Amino acid sequence: MILDYTVISNHIHLLLADDGARNAIPDSIKLIAGRTGQEFNQRKKRKGEFWEDRCHATAIENAEHLF
């Protein structure tokens, strides 16, 4: 579940919560990144990498860490 997001000119920040399922967040990120890159490349009639870097994840364990 997406709790919050920020779109910046060259990347995005997502605050996500999972249901405890193994790989739920990485699989979702892979799907979002793949579709975003495909759609952009199709719209701009280009090929190649869309995302500069891979996903960097930080787990938030409790409310104190979140704030």
Q: DSSP secondary structure string, 4-61?
A: EEEEETTEEEEEE---S-TTHHHHHHHHHHHHHHHHHHHHHT--S---SS--------
pLDDT of residue 16: 87
Please say if the pLDDT value at position 15 is more than 80.
yes
H or E stretch covering 2: strand 2-8
**Both tokens of residue 24?**
């739920």
pLDDT of residue 58: 85
pLDDT at 10 over 80: no
- For residue range 18-53, list pLDDT tens digits in order: 888 888 888 888 888 889 889 999 999 999 888 877
* Residues listed for the chain: 67
Whole-prediction pTM: 0.61
Place of tokens 């997406």: 2
